[in-house]
Structure 1
């Protein structure tokens, strides 16, 4: 029952990763918090096709909402809505009250529950992985906790059960902590994205990270002998770029605003959709004109035709903080210290956590052989109040103070403070 949906989702994953472009040192040891923990019996596969369709609709709707909320400048850009959706879905397991409701609305899932999304994600992730010389698609998840921060076991269990998340406790104060997290990112994306974290603020207690990697050969590859420079009309003017050329039979899609082609990969369920908006219409304007229903209608117009194709080789990287976009989509409460409710992340049920950052990075390369693409989404969770500390120390009784020459160890001034109020 679930296989047709998996097929659609596999194709959707590839399309979302790719077509959006159109609009060790010595790391500190990380403790595996799920070592020896078996998956829960409740983490079974989805068997409700109607519910699966509802979640697939949620993912499609979220895709277009997120793309429309992206910056409308004329730069290269690429998002992976699937990566963002999964990272937020993991975070959703720790949300409660109005924060949970706002996140579900943002994910176009107001009629669904976190449990619905968990079950669907668990089934999807079990079926989606593929790895061969000609085709690879992998999705990995991880949760990184500040050493000493007590996370709710049920919250961690759900993300391990349904998202296959590796859960690690790490000394965030160590200078090598950033390297440890970024090392996981690099490995999960086959070194196409080398980092997602620049530095760790003392208030940060958790990272929830999703990584997607895709690599596939074209079903019919281009010949390097037929690649040569031709003009490409950029918004800033004409530039010479390398174009690949080939005569081939492809499915052509068309509506009143655009024409496009589906270029299949060796896995017949996968294809790159490339769309040319009508003359005078920018890719950004085309995206604004679309939604999930219109997009599906466009795909339904496919007609097989013989095409003399000229397609540019390209490689691009994109990075964006998604806080503005997600706030625009209704998730603002999750980013507000003192108002966000992520109480299900802690056994104490304290409401002292909020999302402090959502970072997103993507990479894509298209050449004669095929396409390689990757995406990483990191949800950073911080404490509203004071950051995690090893110990509290109050100088609330008489003490000694020293003004010290640290080069020589010589005290320049030394005193005793018995009464700070005395002059």
Structure 2
């Protein structure tokens, strides 16, 4: 079980911080080359016009959490404002401590009605931001199953084993047939949403069916049902699912964003520790379907990290004479400044006071220079 809209919303928020080839790849994967500004408009309209009623609930929440460390991380205000405007993203500047971990998981728990209790196990030192989407769906059937509609039966699992389950029987009116599978459409309360099921024909495995199914073909099938009497039987079920989407997104063409060297998220911000890139895209879902209706939840987390690419790494090895100082951080003025000339020989320096010259031995083997700033 996946929620395409959850993944889309989390990645689109992220794309608002991308630039160059990184942005171009994300635009191609997310919207088939639709510019991110237009995609923002479309997703804003789509998300805010989804039906949401008492017995047919659909809720979407977005949040951005970034590390509170101004010496390390600077976030672009336009990036935050765009995501607040189009995605109603809640913005949190946090210290990324154990308390932040609890706060993020608590936010996930609340915004999935308790269906998913956490999305993060730990916060790594190189993590600078989380962009998170949460979705809740909770709807009653248009016609609720009664006790007489439920019986015990066998479900044949993918490995051929037989599993005992409670099955629900109903009569529906929208029949689906795409030549390789048959199914039905079952409406939820007030006809705002529907459940769709497709069963591959005998001799066609579910893997082969899915591998040969395109998004266009699926939409065509759903949009052209046959009006007829359909006797349906389906089991009650409940399960959760988790998938790391990094490799899938790379294979779809969105590779630069995950590359510490190639990623360009300059419109998101900058880090003193190095380049900003996507560390992980994690997706979690939950569904429970029974005689009353369906509850489903989804969370997508985009984790941003900072890391210097090896080829761009600056190296300073103090293995010859060098200047050093002890400075006041607020003004950057030196309290002490000197040079290390020799690690073994005792050196000395001279300071002239008017007409007098005084020789001072330096027991730390340094030579002092007085620099007026």
Whole-Å separation in 1 of the counterparts to 2:95 and 2:189: 44
* Matched position secondary structure for 1:121: helix
Q: Return 5+ residue gaps in structure 1 as ranges.
A: 1-77, 387-393, 399-417
> Does residue 1:209 correspond to 2:132, yes or no?
yes
Q: 1:102-121 alignment to 2 at 5 Å?
A: 102-110=25-33, 112-121=34-43
Q: Is the 8 A contact 1:249 1:306 kept in 2?
A: yes
Q: Report the counterpart of residue 175 of structure 1 in structure 2.
A: 98
Larger Rg: 2
Whole-Å separation in 2 of the counterparts to 1:419 and 1:251: 87
Aligned-residue offset at 1:238: 3.2
* Matched position secondary structure for 2:242: strand
Whole-Å separation in 1 of the counterparts to 2:74 and 2:80: 11
Q: 1:21-420 alignment to 2 at 5 Å?
A: 78-110=1-33, 112-128=34-50, 130-132=52-54, 134-148=55-69, 149-172=73-96, 174-346=97-269, 352-385=275-308
Q: Judging changes above 3 Å, is the alpha-carbon distance between structure 1 residues 202 and 348 closer, same or farther for their aligned structure 2 residues?
A: closer
Q: Judging changes above 3 Å, is the alpha-carbon distance between structure 1 residues 252 and 419 closer, same or farther for their aligned structure 2 residues?
A: farther
Aligned-residue offset at 1:211: 0.6
Aligned-residue offset at 1:178: 1.0
* Matched position secondary structure for 1:107: helix
Superposition RMSD in Å: 2.5
Q: Which runs of 4+ in 1 moved over 3 A?
A: 347-351, 394-398, 418-422
* Matched position secondary structure for 2:252: helix
Aligned-residue offset at 1:128: 2.3
Larger relative strand fraction: 2
Whole-Å separation in 1 of the counterparts to 2:342 and 2:151: 78
Q: Judging changes above 3 Å, is the alpha-carbon distance between structure 1 residues 128 and 420 closer, same or farther for their aligned structure 2 residues?
A: farther
Whole-Å separation in 2 of the counterparts to 1:177 and 1:339: 29
Whole-Å separation in 2 of the counterparts to 1:103 and 1:198: 27
* Matched position secondary structure for 2:254: helix
Whole-Å separation in 2 of the counterparts to 1:267 and 1:150: 48
Aligned-residue offset at 1:119: 1.1
Whole-Å separation in 1 of the counterparts to 2:219 and 2:166: 29
Whole-Å separation in 2 of the counterparts to 1:370 and 1:253: 21
Aligned-residue offset at 1:291: 1.6
Q: Is the 8 A contact 1:244 1:313 kept in 2?
A: yes
Q: Judging changes above 3 Å, is the alpha-carbon distance between structure 1 residues 129 and 310 closer, same or farther for their aligned structure 2 residues?
A: closer
